[in-house]
Structure 1
Amino acid sequence: MSASMKRSLALLLTAVVALAGCTTPRRDKPADALTFVVVRHAEKATDDPEDPRLSDLGRERARRLATLLADAPVVAIYATEFRRTRETAQPTADAHHVPISAYFARGPAGESAAHWRRDHDRGTVLIVGHSNTVPDLVAALSGQPATPMPETEYDRVTWIRFDADGRARVEITRY
């Protein structure tokens, strides 16, 4: 084999290997998948015992949540009727130009979850609740048991991602 043919063969093999690297399996884009992000409201102030606002620390945490979700395809945001949940969701709502829809904090978690699953089949849905409601919402959405949330915990983020077959995968992170 001549040197010229060897070089041509080497170039051809290089091209084949390079093209083979381009044929990766198709993965659903984030916008094509359904993800629920469930958080507790951020730290609350002591200004009102019934319906407090967020504290300075809570407002900073709400901004961090918006940063965390900056690249997510947020299609809906739900918060309870209380100021602290709406204020937690507001920076994300502003960043994505998505309105905050209210849900009843004391309503059955299963009903809320069924409503959200029926209304959304793709994108990221942010749900802001309370320490005594988040675990039930996570369990109802995912069909998996959820860890209780102590009153002092504000940084848990539960990601519930659904695959093409509708199976839920739950991941917990902190922010």
Structure 2
Amino acid sequence: MKYLIITIGLLLLCSTVNAEDTLKDQTVTIYLVRHAEKQTDDTKNPSLTQQGQQRAKKLAQTLKLKNIKRIFSTQYKRTIQTALPLAKQLKIDIEFYDPGKLLLFANEITTLKENILIVGHSNTTPVLVELLGGKPFGKIKENEYDRLYVLEKYHGEVESKLLKTNHQ
């Protein structure tokens, strides 16, 4: 009888551990950021400032152990330069999306079963967060570069978190 109770206890413990592992395996995390600080030289496609480059490196450090498999960016210098440190670190190609077709892109993203980073803009990132089922937490101000959205998807449910990053 004693061995039967121990065996049942071990089976229950194993099934709990397996259930936790399965839950982690089925959770998909989407990280979204606005590009880092940009030059203000009045061009339509500015590069990052020195401060923006530092923020991009800090973002790569923050996300390097988050099991990101794909990185998406618009085709602007500032978004590519924000994504590039992590892409190089993880040896992942940056994939491009059209910020004018956010609904189409959101529908594509919802089919993915892997962790991803999406780099966008102040006017598109909150919209994309909402299209993906998350909470946008208001508009991004023109001088605001420190938002990191974390959307965790599990069985159709989305949990939204908004983290503040610091480039220093």
The interval holding the TM-score normalised by the smaller chain is 0.7 to 0.9
Cα distance between partner residues in 2 of 1:109 and 1:141: 10
| Distance in 1 (alpha carbons) for counterparts of 2:23 and 2:59 | 22
**Which of 60, 64, 70 is residue 70 of structure 1 equivalent to?**
64
RMSD: 2.5
Asked if the contact 2:56/2:81 (under 8 Å) is kept, the reply is yes
Q: Partner residue of 1:98?
A: 92
Give the AA of the match of 1:55: T
Match of 2:147 among 143, 153, 156: 156
* Counterpart among 55, 58, 62 of residue 52 in structure 2: 58
Aligned residues between the structures: 158
Using a 3 Å threshold, how does the CA distance of structure 1 residues 91 and 31 change in structure 2: closer, same or farther? Answer: farther
* Larger Rg computed on CA atoms: 1
What is the CA deviation profile of residues 6-63 of structure 1, one whole-angstrom value per residue up to 9, with x for unaligned ones?
xxxxxxxxx99xx79x655432475542111010000011345211100000000001
User: Secondary structure in 2 aligned to 1:154?
Assistant: coil
Match of 2:156 in 1: 166
SS in 1 for 2:40: coil
> Cα distance, 1:145 vs. partner?
5.3
- Name the TM-score, length of structure 1 as normaliser: 0.80
Residues 71-80 or 39-48, more deviating? 39-48
2:162 counterpart SS class: strand
Report the Cα offset of residue 112 of structure 1: 1.1
Q: State whether residues 54 and 87 of structure 1, in contact with CA within 8 Å, keep that contact through their aligned partners in structure 2.
A: yes
Residues 90 and 78 of structure 1, relative CA distance in 2, 3 Å threshold: same
Identity of aligned residues (%): 34
Q: 2:77 aligns with which of 73, 83, 103?
A: 83
Consecutive unaligned residues in structure 1, runs of 5 or more: 1-14
